[in-house]
Amino acid sequence: MTVQGDRRKFRREGADQRKEALVRATLGLIAEEGVRGATVRAIAERAEVTQGLIRHYFSTKEDLVLAAYTQHMDALTEQTFAKAEGATPRARLAALVVASVTPPVADAGSVALWAGFLTQVRQDARMQEVHARSYHGFRDRLEALIAEVLAQDGRAADSRDCRPLAIACNAVIDGLWLEGGALPDAFQEGELAAIAVQSVGAILGMNLTGTEAQE
Amino acid sequence: MTVQGDRRKFRREGADQRKEALVRATLGLIAEEGVRGATVRAIAERAEVTQGLIRHYFSTKEDLVLAAYTQHMDALTEQTFAKAEGATPRARLAALVVASVTPPVADAGSVALWAGFLTQVRQDARMQEVHARSYHGFRDRLEALIAEVLAQDGRAADSRDCRPLAIACNAVIDGLWLEGGALPDAFQEGELAAIAVQSVGAILGMNLTGTEAQE
DNA sequence: CGCGTAATTATACGCTTGCATAATTAACCT
DNA sequence: AGGTTAATTATGCAAGCGTATAATTACGCG
């Protein structure tokens, strides 16, 4: 004769699915409510489990946040480069630039997420590592693409020349990404994309406008 | 016969001085420990008062944070433009660009502060207002300076042309400011400044290099 | 000099937080 | 089938949070 209170029914799930659900819940909460809103209880509720389960999969909340940060940054880079398609290197670069300042990569939630994590990046060595890896990962791929574009034009394309260009292009992209996400109403539809393509073209000394649609 | 416990001695101060001390303590804590570390108790301790006094000057902690944010952003803009001196508009622009990506404007604390506040910007209408005012304040002054520079070269300088240029230049500056602050060890001394001057020059279609030292 | 009052301290309350631990139960194994 | 065990829930705890309120005290003013 069991007491049979109104104890909650549940299904057992694989560790990976549960972890991912918890990570998703964490990201959603930080994006919408800020780091402050991402409490253990709120995360559990959004993932439709009870709070104790979090401890079963992540030995501490810090670990969960680290996992969430890693996934978010990886997804951001991947999402951006996935759209960098085209016949010519120049077209791929233009497409990449446009994708960087256009939803879903550039939106208020992504920026809020990024900013929310930055605080913890300064205090947690593991977070710092993910941050550095993510930044360099993006920039190195950007530098490689820039090198391709320059080579196509018969211009010097070794790293000494390309590195500062990549840093500069990355900065414009980041700046516009940030401002678009933090102040969405300050710009017209497509305005940021046009400015981004124009500016990256200027920095590289070539005309990139229109190339994202070519071929 | 007073009980005379070891009650803390204190000095009375003007409202302005106390408010400013509390604001300074708040900014310092957010920069160093993150928003999480800026508790009422920690702020009071750093300002060398007891926590009750905060409520005497700010009716809520939110108000204190708003005051701190306002002061920080205003100081940042002011600090930057204060260094934008020079005989020619071109020299002033170059100096402004360099100052934007050089300490004390660009440093880890300032960036951390900015990121820490961004969360609250999305949730508090008053914070949002300060954010928008601060961004546009900086960009409008930048646009005016760009217009001067273009006019000197005999180029068109109305707002339709200058606005996108100002947005783009602002973005490079912000991007480099951000990356320098968030990842200080990834760049060499002066590297960001050189890239910034180079890139802004490219965007505006002119050579800005070296002008910050001229005259 | 002593009185009044605003500035400051002291204390406490109710809530939320992250984390620990014990009780339960769904699903797999033979 | 039924026992085993890992996944999940339920409950509790100590610490820290922002805020409220009452008790003190420094200081200007007559």
Residue of B nearest to A207 (CA): B203
Mean pLDDT of B106-111: 95
Nearest to B172, CA basis, from A176, A32, A37: A176
Q: Are residues B54 and B84 in the same domain?
A: no
Q: Are residues A113 and A197 in the same domain?
A: yes
Sign of CA dihedral B196, B197, B203, B204: positive
| Containing structural domain, residue B25 | 13-59
**Is A61's CB less than 7 Å from nucleic acid strand C?**
yes
pLDDT of residue B3: 46
pLDDT of residue A211: 72
pLDDT tens column, B26-50: 999 999 999 999 999 999 999 999 9
Residues of A with CB under 8 A from a CB of B: 33-36, 108, 111-112, 115-116, 118-123, 131-132, 135-136, 164, 167-168, 170-176, 178-179, 182-183, 186-187, 191-192, 194-196, 198-199, 202-203, 205
The residue from B59, B80, B113 where one domain ends is: B59
Contact in structure between B202 and A203 (CB atoms under 8 Å): yes
Residue B92 placed within a domain: yes
Q: Which long-range contacts (CB under 8 A, 24 or more apart) does B23-26 make?
A: B23/B64, B23/B67, B23/B68, B23/B71, B26/B64, B26/B65, B26/B68
pLDDT of residue B213: 54
Using a CB-CB cut-off of 8 Å, the residues of chain A touching B115 are: 115-116, 118-119
pLDDT tens column, A91-102: 999 999 999 999
pLDDT tens column, A8-30: 999 999 999 999 999 999 999 99
Q: Are residues B40 and B90 in the same domain?
A: no
Q: Are residues B112 and B151 in the same domain?
A: yes
Mean pLDDT of A130-159: 96
**Is A14's CB less than 7 Å from nucleic acid strand C?**
no
How many CA atoms, within 13 angstroms, populate the side-chain half-sphere of residue B154? 0
Q: Are residues A30 and A94 in the same domain?
A: no
Q: Are residues A83 and A120 in the same domain?
A: yes
CATH of residue A30's domain is: 1.10.10.60
Please tell me which residue lies nearest to nucleotide C11, judged from CA to C1'.
B52
Q: Are residues B34 and B80 in the same domain?
A: no
Give distance CA A72 / C1' D5 (Å): 35
Residue A48 placed within a domain: yes
Residue A211 placed within a domain: no
pLDDT tens column, A172-207: 999 999 999 999 999 999 999 999 999 999 999 999
Number of folded domains in chain B? 2
Q: List the structure tokens of A24.
A: 């998703």
pLDDT of residue B6: 79
Q: List the structure tokens of B79.
A: 């600090």
d(C-alpha B202, C-alpha A170), whole Å:
15
What are the residue ranges of helices labelled H in chain B? 15-33, 40-46, 52-57, 61-82, 89-100, 108-121, 125-152, 159-182, 191-204
Q: List the structure tokens of B198.
A: 């180079």
Residue B98 placed within a domain: yes
d(C-alpha B44, C-alpha A26), whole Å:
32
pLDDT of residue A2: 42
Q: Are residues B35 and B82 in the same domain?
A: no
pLDDT of residue A210: 76
CATH of residue A195's domain is: 1.10.357.10
pLDDT of residue B166: 98
Cβ contacts of A164 within 8 Å, gap of 6 or more: B191, B194, B195, B198
Residue of A34, A183, A202 with shortest CB distance to B202: A202
- The whole-chain average pLDDT of chain B stands at 94
Confidence of residue A5 (pLDDT cuts 50, 70, 90): low
CA dihedral in degrees (A167, A143, A31, A57; nearest 10)? -120
Q: Are residues B147 and B96 in the same domain?
A: yes
Which one is predicted more confidently, B211 or B137? B137
Contact in structure between B139 and B131 (CB atoms under 8 Å): no
pLDDT tens column, B143-185: 999 999 999 999 989 999 999 999 999 999 999 999 999 999 9
Residue B4 placed within a domain: no
